[in-house]
A and B are shown apart, each in its own frame.
Chain A
Amino acid sequence: MERPAWAPRSIDISVPSVSRMYDYYLGGSHNFEVDREAARKAMEFMPGLPKIMQANRAFMRRAVRFAAAEGITQFLDIGSGIPTFGNVHEVARAAAPDARVMYVDHDPVAVAHSQAVLQGTDGAGILAADLRKPGEILNSPELLRLIDLNRPVALLLVAILHFVEDADDPYAAVTELREALAPGSMLVLTHASYDGIPLPPERAEGAVDVYQNIRNPLIMRTRDEIARFFEGYDMVEPGLVPMPRWRPDTAPEDEDPYAFSGFAGVGRTA
């Protein structure tokens, strides 16, 4: 029998979670042994995984600053995970003190943690929802209380779309979100890819298999496939590039080779 829609998914912390693995890669302790075990297994194939995560965080930081500099004060971060440091609202507030941030995640533990962290923080909130059901995000009272969809929003899809399988039609979800956003909104996106990984593909596939085994498949897409997510957006310079090459603060040459894995880009709607 199919589970009714209103019955929530149960929580099994004996199953690794990608958000807690992400925290572990970033040196955090918001994780359990199962998470660390899976992360260590993935790192056996790709020792530089933490550097990729770090590059993601660094790109997000630059992109948020860029958006804020362009006058955007509303941020929708889907797949926010477990906030440790350098969160969107901290970065955004540094540039625009009145910035508002809506975090969205479908991992109940990540949501509960975010709630604890954001307690007493005005202008930032967390919503338990799924990128695969954009309607539930866009129509939620939590979001509508915080975000004015008639004004531009920076939509952050950082290191999340590679967890949405084609069967769930991530392109349709991204389109639906775009259509709900006011003109002048931005899409901030990073996505995993075999392109740029400084390893033979078999090694990288070993890491991908780890995610497959924890039933959270990692979908590696090509640059063209990733570029399609920006349909309806005008790419902001320098376009869809490896993370360290997107408006760097320091010379990309100094970056760890792993940081060049995958792609990052920012687009803006007309």
Chain B
Amino acid sequence: MSAEPDGPEDRLRRFATIWSRAVFPVTSTSSTRSEFEARLLPLARLLSRALRARSFDADAGRQAGASLVREHCTDPEALSRTLDCVDAYLVLYCGEDGDREDLRARSARLQHAMAAGFAQALRERTLAEQEAIARAALEAQGVVAQALHATEARFRAVFEGAAIGIAIADLDGNIFQVNGALRRMFGLSEQGLRGRNVRDWVHPDDPPQTWRLYEELVSGEREHYHLEKAFYRPDGTVLWTNLTVSLLRDADGEPQYQLALMEDTTERRLLNLRLRYEATHDALTGLPNRTFFFERLEKALGAGEGQRFGLCYLDLDGFKTVNDSLGHAAGDRLLVEVADRLQACATAPGEMVARLGGDEFVALTTGPDTRRTVDELAARIMNALLAPISADGRELTVRGSIGIVEGPAGERSPAEVLRSADITMYRAKSAGGNRFELADPEADARAITRHGLTTALPTALDRGEFFIEYQPLVHLGDGSVRGAEALVRWLHPQHGVLSPDRFIPLAEHTGLIVPLGRWVLEQSVRQAREWQDRHGGAEALGPLRVNVNLSPCQLTHPGLVQDTVEILERTGVEPDALCLEVTESALIGADDDLLKPLRRLAEMGVDIALDDFGTGYSNLANLRRLPVSVLKLDRSFTQSMQQFPADPVDLKIVEGIVSLAHSLDLAVTVEGVETGAQAEQLRILGCDTAQGWYYARPGPPERLHELALVDATG
């Protein structure tokens, strides 16, 4: 809209400009000055028209005042400046030619109306905004309250529905809230638990630190603790729990409540106890088992100064026979009865009986005076076994062998003690059984060496710890060396040179005798070959022969014949240069199957000698059946001939045996010849060959060569 300079429109705009300049600084509008001025122009026009209207209406003033508020002129200063502006300039710029007095009166009335309109609009706006913000605050609070309610409902559901028991108490221990799980654990109603005090929950099984931890927690020194705790239920039964107690603090960190979380472990505990019982007790007899016994023994051996222990190791004599003849059920009944009787023997404090397995039982006594109590305990046990035990309608007589170990605590390990007891028990058993023996360190040491040798044997062969010595066999007729017996030795790294009686039984037991025997055979045959090569001159006397011992184990080994043949062929030694010595006892009751390999060897030309003849059950009739060509008389026959004059009965016996042997076409060799008189006597009696210290002790193969050479030249 264009305006003619200083025309009515132009003057109106100038009024609006003055007005907006006055008010703009006190408005809060985000509009620019010109935008704001443009908003005031219609209000100025409204006032201008009302000023000059034919009939005056102050309502225009009210409208303009209200409009100011709508244009965000809410500051009362805006009204003040507006009224100043209208008062000073409305009549001047918009009055045109009207009556000044009249116009001024109208302007005044318009101002009153503007003030009223402004005030009313501001009041309405303020009220509306206050209501809006209050409603918003209320609504927001509602939202929060709703969320809180949902939160609380969720918490309550968690609390009530939790599988673990929850209780909340104040710091004096008064319980004021418990959940369903906890009520069920205790078998109590909410009322039954509420109002009770935590301190009432003392139980005799409480670990000693229980109530100290509690005091620390409620006094704020500790945030939480955890332990296993038992509670009495109202019906007197015991509830076991995994208990965690936490301290709850308020917003300022001050201790306020205690929170207990408990998990019912009663069932689990029972199961654990049962598993523990099963793991530590023998299912058959109900006695503590090896595990349990070792725990107790360990404790006894770890006891303080002045404490001693006594251990009885019992093994029933002949139990295997009962099992084999009457069956395992009867054997089991016997064991149960023995267990019951043993249990009755060890009832004093510090005493226990356990079953180690099979028919082996142990009884333990502890205290300062076990030297006396262990003897009494062993006597009680022997006594308890006296009365026969009935099983399967039979009265079984039970005997046992007991090894006793007694000593101060703190010196030996459980394994050492048990081994000593085991060894001692075997000593009692080999002394005939039905007795008890006291452990003896020397006997233990021997047995321990035996054990050590057994375990060292297998590697000894690989390490070349064995060697062979040869003891010459001398022809009694002319005193010439005809051969030698190969005797194996073990050069043990710790024990030095060991003779065959120390380790051959062990090798028999472990089966190592087979490879060891083969090694001895091979070495000896090879040696025989060497002698032949170096001693070829003495053709008239035949080759030097070698005697090799065969153990019972080797006899039954299927490879015997083949191994022997291979060795002979490989070394190029004739079979008749080899004599295999077999003990008489190994052939007792031998059937044809057992004799077959010997027969085959004999057929090939290998001599078979019957060693240690006369010591065992000498079945003379059996001699015919055996593929034997040499009898070796045991040294016991020659021992009496060391004196002079010799026992005439012994002489007769030897004479008889020689006569019998010769009639069966067997040669006779005697062992243990130590004197010239002996040698002469045996020669007179008709013995063919002899060996013994009189001629030579066992020695290295070169020695034999030397002796044979002496024969040949002398």
Interface residue ranges, A against B (CB under 8 Å): 1, 4, 6-11, 13, 20, 23, 25-32, 50, 53-54, 57-58, 60-61, 82, 85-86, 108-113, 115-117, 249-250, 254, 256
Contact = CB atoms under 8 A, between A and B. Distances in A.
A10 B144 contact: yes
Contact of A112 (B27, B74, B136, B248): B136
A116 B30 contact: no
A57 to B, nearest CB: 4
A8 B154 CA distance: 14
Given A54-B28, A256-B25, A27 B133 contact: no
B328 interface: no
Interface string B126-148: 10011011011101110110011
27 contacts: A7-B151, A11-B140, A11-B144, A20-B133, A26-B72, A27-B27, A27-B75, A28-B28, A28-B74, A29-B74, A29-B130, A29-B133, A30-B133, A32-B137, A54-B28, A58-B30, A58-B31, A82-B133, A86-B31, A108-B141, A109-B133, A112-B135, A112-B139, A112-B143, A115-B139, A250-B33, A256-B25
Contact of B32 (A20, A249, A256): A249
A15 B206 CA distance: 51
A29 B129 contact: yes
Interface string B8-46: 000000000000000001011111111000000000000
B435 interface: no
B290 interface: no
B81 to A, nearest CB: 15
Given A85-B72, A108-B143, A109-B140, A26 B148 contact: no
Contact of B133 (A25, A32, A54, A58): A32
B190 to A, nearest CB: 25
Question: Lowest 7 A-B CB distances belong to which pairs?
Answer: A113-B136, A29-B129, A108-B140, A57-B30, A27-B28, A112-B136, A30-B133
Nearest to B246: A1
Contacts of B148: 7-8, 10
A13 B137 CA distance: 8
Contacts of A116: 132, 135-136, 139
Nearest to B73: A27
A112 B72 CA distance: 23
Contacts of B151: 4, 6-8
Interface residues of B, number: 31
Contacts of A85: 29-30, 72
Nearest to A248: B32
Interface of B: 25, 27-34, 72, 74-75, 125-126, 129-130, 132-133, 135-137, 139-141, 143-144, 147-148, 151, 248-249
A113 B30 contact: no
- B interface: dominant SS: helix
Contacts of B249: 1
Given A53-B28, A116-B139, 6 more contacts: A13-B141, A28-B28, A31-B133, A85-B30, A86-B29, A256-B25
A108 B28 contact: no
A142 to B, nearest CB: 15
Nearest to A29: B129
Nearest to A13: B137
A185 to B, nearest CB: 24
A60 B31 CA distance: 11
B145 to A, nearest CB: 9
A250 to B, nearest CB: 5
A264 to B, nearest CB: 14
A113 B72 contact: no
Contacts of A50: 28
A9 B144 contact: yes
Contacts of B29: 54, 85-86
B30 A61 contact: yes
Contact of A7 (B75, B125, B126, B147): B147
Contact of B141 (A11, A115, A256): A11
Given A27-B72, A116-B135, A254 B143 contact: no
A53 B30 CA distance: 9
Interface centre among B27, B126, B133 (most CB of A within 10 A): B133
Contact of A28 (B25, B129, B135): B129
B133 A8 contact: no
Interface centre among A9, A11, A31, A117 (most CB of B within 10 A): A11
B460 to A, nearest CB: 73
Nearest to A108: B140
A117 B140 CA distance: 14
Nearest to B24: A254
A119 to B, nearest CB: 12
B132 A30 contact: yes
Contacts of A9: 144
A167 to B, nearest CB: 21
Nearest to A86: B30
Given A50-B28, A85-B30, A250-B33, A8 B132 contact: no
B30 A11 contact: no
Given A109-B137, A113-B133, A256-B25, A29 B126 contact: yes
Contacts of A61: 30
Contacts of B139: 112, 115-116
A257 B17 CA distance: 22
Nearest to A9: B144
A113 B132 contact: yes
Given A54-B28, A57-B30, A250-B32, A30 B129 contact: yes
Contacts of A20: 133
A112 B140 contact: yes
Contact of B140 (A7, A86, A111): A111
B602 to A, nearest CB: 99
B340 to A, nearest CB: 61
Nearest to B33: A250
